[in-house]
């Protein structure tokens, strides 16, 4: 059995109609004004979930997002033939996490940005569990698309979550447990489903990667 305990959990599930501009107003006190101006919706939400979470240069971040930097991608494509250098930078995965950490001038040892879909949550958790850093920030999120959403190539809602995973049970809110031994897979929660379970402190369990997964609350 392998496990990590969840600390400093925060989830952002803004109203579906919230725009990046709206998030900029709502979350203005969490970011330097100069940085705020250039941040994407997903960057703002991730920054809010990491607010107060201290990370050091020996720590690691695991970042899960199926659609990643959707709005910057849409806007960068719209900037051709005079391609925008700023939108190009922010369209590149994992730009949203980098917006936050560069804003803080916060180096980290390792950053693991995942971009899958079907078993994304499981793979992000697996990546976190085999990470030797004592503190691993598990971060995930999406931002609502516009024209890409019309083609089912973007998330239908914006959300983000972050938790610090450690081996310390004291003061933990919950834990992630992987018990090897399950030969068959069952459906893995989607990233949004996982975020909602985190927000509602609801337990989850499924089978995959050769074992049984459990999200438990203490």
Partner 1 sequence: MNTPADQFPAGIEVCDCLTPFGDAVATAAALLAGRRALELTPVLGRDGGDLVPLALTGPMDESLPPRWLRSLRRLAAGIPPAAWGAARTPVVVTSSNFGVGSLYAFTRDRDVRHLAHGTPFASVDLLRNEFGWGEHVHVFSHACVTAHLGLAHAARLLHAGLADRALVFSFDFVSPFVAGGFHSLKILNGALPAPYARRETGSIGLGDGAAFAVLVRETRPFRLAAHALYNEMFHFTGNQPDSAGFATCAASIAAAASGRRVWVKGHGTGTLEAGRLEAEVVARQFPDAPLTGWKGSLGHTLGSCGLVELAVALAALRGGRIPGTVGGAAPSFIDAVALAPFASADFDGAILTSNAFGGAHAAMLLTHD
**DSSP letters for 157-178:** S-EEEEEEEES--TT-SEEEEE
Site for partner 1 contains 210 (CB under 8 A): yes
- Binding-site member from 1, 115, 156, 200 for partner 1 (CB under 8 A): 115
Site for partner 1 contains 88 (CB under 8 A): yes
What does each C-alpha distance from 142 to 48, 67, 115, 146, 170 come to in angstroms? Answer: 14, 6, 11, 13, 31
Cis ω before 155 (30° cut-off from 0): no
Q: Using DSSP bridges, classify how beta strands 159-166 and 204-208 pair: parallel, antiparallel or unpaired.
A: unpaired
Considering the complex, what minimum distance in angstroms separates the CB of residue 159 from partner 1? 18
Considering the complex, what minimum distance in angstroms separates the CB of residue 215 from partner 1? 19
Site for partner 1 contains 190 (CB under 8 A): no
Considering the complex, what minimum distance in angstroms separates the CB of residue 217 from partner 1? 25
Site for partner 1 contains 1 (CB under 8 A): no
Site for partner 1 contains 181 (CB under 8 A): no
Site for partner 1 contains 32 (CB under 8 A): no
Is the separation of the CB atoms in 139 and 50 below 8 Å?
yes
Site for partner 1 contains 149 (CB under 8 A): no
**DSSP letters for 24-41:** HHHTGGGS-HHHHHH--H
Q: Which residues bind partner 1 (CB under 8 A)?
A: 56-58, 66-68, 73, 76-78, 80-85, 88-95, 98, 101-102, 104-120, 123, 126-127, 130-133, 151, 153, 180, 185, 208-210
């Amino acid at each position: 059995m392998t496990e990590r305990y969840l600390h400093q959990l925060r989830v952002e599930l803004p109203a579906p109609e919230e725009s990046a501009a709206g998030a900029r107003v709502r979350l203005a006190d969490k970011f330097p004004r100069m940085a705020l101006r250039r941040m994407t919706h997903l960057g703002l939400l991730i920054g809010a979930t990491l607010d107060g979470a201290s990370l050091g240069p020996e720590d690691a971040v695991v970042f899960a997002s199926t659609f990643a930097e959707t709005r910057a991608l849409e806007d960068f494509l719209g900037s051709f033939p005079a391609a925008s250098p700023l939108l190009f930078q922010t369209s590149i995965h994992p730009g949203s996490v980098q917006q936050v950490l560069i804003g803080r001038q916060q180096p980290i040892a390792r950053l693991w940005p995942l971009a899958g879909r079907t078993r994304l949550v499981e793979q992000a958790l697996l990546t976190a569990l085999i990470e030797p850093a004592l503190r691993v920030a598990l971060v995930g999120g999406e931002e609502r698309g516009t024209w890409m959403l019309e083609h089912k190539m973007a998330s239908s809602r914006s959300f983000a979550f972050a938790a610090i995973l450690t081996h310390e049970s004291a003061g933990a809110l919950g834990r992630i447990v992987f018990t090897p031994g399950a030969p068959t897979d069952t459906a893995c929660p989607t990233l949004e489903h996982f975020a909602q379970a985190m927000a509602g402190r609801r337990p989850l369990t499924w089978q995959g990667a050769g074992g049984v997964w459990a999200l438990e609350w203490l």
